[in-house]
A and B are shown apart, each in its own frame.
Chain A
Amino acid sequence: MSAPEPTFMSTSSPRSIRRRRMGTVFAVLCGAATMVGVVSLAVLLVDVALDGLPRLDIDFLTSFASRLPERSGIKAALVGSVWLLVLTALISFPMSVAAAIYLEEYAPRNWITRIIQTNIANLAGVPSIVYGILGLALFVRFLGFDRSVLSGALTLSLLVMPVIIMAAQEAIKAVPGTIREAAYGLGATRWQVVSTQVLPMALPGILTGTILALSRAVGETAPLIMVGAVGFIAFTPSGPMDRFTVLPLQIYNWVSRPQDEFRALAAAGIVVLLVLLLTMNAIAIVLRNRYQTRS
């Protein structure tokens, strides 16, 4: 009585066939789910590029919006977006890094700190329109900054700060404790440990998080409508108290026009916005890679 030779061939019982078919179906479904996102993004990019590229030239970048589509350009919105971006970075970066340093290096580990920490995580999930309403009440009305670039930048700073704080905290946490110990062991004060060791090592990570958060801010529209960015403007801001518009708002404004020529303008505007966003993301990736190879 010898047992049958074991083989590793698939059996052909109905049960086993059904089992294998289930596996295949599941793999195909997952693949399809992945492709939905990738393909629709690719289609969108190609469509926008086809519509927008013919309209994209130096004149488009250097002209103001006009009611005549052929003379219309994106200068006011592009400069407005850059103004907003720079001001937001100047406001949010130092405040967020300071907050992250406080939470990681100075704050006592007690319930107050835990509440602050939980709230920061929650604030990162608050819808941007809510920040817009806050900005309108606080900066535009109460502080009297009016519908200025400054009001917009302060509002966007509130929006991105939770994200930057959390990214900076992660970067600071990633600095090995042995480095801190070494510095403390040599008689460094807490501030010397932070400024000479922790911050330089965490900086690439902090910058990456900041750039990614700012690239989200560049695409924001809703809160800026609330604080009074305007859709049609024929000058660029010459100071933080000037009125302004931004790329997404200009694009929205053009899309809502009935004439086809304005749609082409909108497509060209989207290309400009995408180039700005992808450039920022590319910088973030380069920084992250440099950081990874160094440590």
Chain B
Amino acid sequence: MSTTYDIDTEGRLPALEARDVSVHYGDNEAVKKVSLVVPSKRVVALIGPSGCGKSTLLRCFNRMNDLVPAARVSGEVNFRGQNLYAEEVDPVEVRRRIGMVFQKPNPFPKSIFDNVAFGPRINGYEGDLDALVEESLRQSALWEEVHDRLGDSAYALSGGQQQRLCIARTLAVKPEMVLMDEPASALDPIATQRIEELIYELKKDYTIVIVTHNMQQAARISDYTAFLYMGDLIEYGPTETIFTNPREEQTEAYITGRFG
């Protein structure tokens, strides 16, 4: 399936545009010629049943798939007009500018401060590190809870706090876009709600692509939703349309819970 879904980018340049992106793991085609446009400073949700290729597609957007030896990506991913898979592109630089938050909170075994400061440090940040750490923790709504114990181990935090710490850590390198791979799937409902509120706040400044298997979550937080099934992009459009008036029968079957 290679239908292109036109998205109204409201007159602005899209943040990211995938063109015929396919991913092979050996002989298995996990993502099949997917094309979609991610508008700037909006939240795009990728939904679909387990194994539909949504996480794999997400990982194409910051060249995280390069780390999987068996994965082969073809097609183009244009970020602000630059193809991320062009030969001269350095994947390290791509990952610095396009941040990622993972499914399970994965703080480093270091202090809260050092977790947030890690990215700026390895990237040679020369400004006021204390201020940057505070700013990042405030952005991820964690500052009030941890400002008096920045030296404590990150492992002492609850799961939800750890995930917000991971978001702060991602924001500290000042990315231009944030990818989230089921960021709340390992969290309880209250921690999940806090993450969702946070995403709502963050889209003022960031373009966010989020993978979720929770359809209510996609409906609540995203502006656009892409439904993937067996590696195909079945349908992509404004979230409201996808959830109230889907064009494809498979989409309707999935969002009404008839399979998946």
Alpha-carbon distance A110/B109, docked complex (angstroms):
32
- Check if B64 is an interface residue, CB within 8 A of chain A: yes
- Check if A189 is an interface residue, CB within 8 A of chain B: yes
Alpha-carbon distance A178/B169, docked complex (angstroms):
14
B144-182, CB under 8 A of A: which get 1 and which 0? 000000000000000000000010011001000000000
- Check if B92 is an interface residue, CB within 8 A of chain A: yes
- Check if B119 is an interface residue, CB within 8 A of chain A: yes
Alpha-carbon distance A176/B169, docked complex (angstroms):
18
B96-117, CB under 8 A of A: which get 1 and which 0? 1101101010111100000000
**A110 — nearest CB in chain B belongs to which residue?**
B69
Alpha-carbon distance A196/B118, docked complex (angstroms):
9
**B118 — nearest CB in chain A belongs to which residue?**
A186
Inter-subunit contact B64/A187 (CB<8 Å): no
Inter-subunit contact A178/B102 (CB<8 Å): yes
Instruction: Please give the number of chain B residues whose Cβ is less than 8 angstroms from any Cβ of chain A in the complex.
Output: 25
Alpha-carbon distance A235/B92, docked complex (angstroms):
57
Inter-subunit contact A186/B69 (CB<8 Å): no
- Check if A184 is an interface residue, CB within 8 A of chain B: yes
CB distance from B60 to the nearest CB of A (A): 14
**A188 — nearest CB in chain B belongs to which residue?**
B122
Which residues 31-72 in B have Cβ within 8 Å of A in the complex? 62, 64, 67, 69
A183-200, CB under 8 A of B: which get 1 and which 0? 111111100100011000
Inter-subunit contact B99/A186 (CB<8 Å): yes
Alpha-carbon distance A187/B171, docked complex (angstroms):
12
Contacts A109-B69, A178-B104, A196-B122 hold; do A186 and B109 have CB atoms under 8 A apart?
no
Inter-subunit contact A185/B69 (CB<8 Å): no
- Check if A179 is an interface residue, CB within 8 A of chain B: yes
- Check if B194 is an interface residue, CB within 8 A of chain A: no
**A192 — nearest CB in chain B belongs to which residue?**
B122
**B66 — nearest CB in chain A belongs to which residue?**
A184
Please indicate the chain B residues that have their CB under 8 angstroms from the CB of A176 in the complex: 106
Please indicate the chain A residues that have their CB under 8 angstroms from the CB of B108 in the complex: 179, 182-183, 197
- Most chain A CB within 10 A, of B92, B96, B170, is at B92
Alpha-carbon distance A87/B169, docked complex (angstroms):
42
Alpha-carbon distance A109/B107, docked complex (angstroms):
28
Please indicate the chain A residues that have their CB under 8 angstroms from the CB of B99 in the complex: 185-186
Contacts A179-B108, A201-B109 hold; do A186 and B119 have CB atoms under 8 A apart?
yes
Please indicate the chain B residues that have their CB under 8 angstroms from the CB of A109 in the complex: 69
Alpha-carbon distance A181/B105, docked complex (angstroms):
11
Inter-subunit contact B102/A187 (CB<8 Å): no
Which residues 79-105 in B have Cβ within 8 Å of A in the complex? 92-93, 95-97, 99-100, 102, 104
- Check if A294 is an interface residue, CB within 8 A of chain B: yes
- Check if A24 is an interface residue, CB within 8 A of chain B: no
Contacts A109-B69, A181-B64, A181-B67 hold; do A187 and B119 have CB atoms under 8 A apart?
yes
- Check if A122 is an interface residue, CB within 8 A of chain B: no
- Check if A295 is an interface residue, CB within 8 A of chain B: yes
Inter-subunit contact A184/B95 (CB<8 Å): yes
Inter-subunit contact A187/B173 (CB<8 Å): yes
Which residues 60-115 in A have Cβ within 8 Å of B in the complex? 108-109
**What are 29 A-B contacts defined by CB distance under 8 Å?**
A108-B69, A109-B69, A178-B106, A180-B67, A181-B67, A181-B100, A181-B102, A182-B108, A182-B169, A183-B122, A185-B99, A185-B100, A186-B95, A186-B96, A186-B123, A186-B169, A186-B173, A187-B92, A187-B93, A187-B96, A187-B97, A187-B122, A188-B122, A192-B122, A196-B118, A196-B122, A201-B109, A294-B109, A295-B109
- Would you list the 9 A-B pairs with minimal beta carbon distance, nearest first? A187-B96, A186-B119, A178-B106, A185-B100, A182-B106, A187-B95, A192-B122, A188-B122, A189-B92
**Known contacts A181-B106, A185-B99, A186-B99; 18 further A-B pairs (Cβ under 8 A):** A178-B104, A179-B108, A180-B67, A181-B64, A181-B67, A182-B102, A182-B106, A184-B67, A184-B95, A185-B170, A186-B95, A186-B96, A186-B118, A186-B169, A186-B173, A187-B122, A188-B122, A201-B109
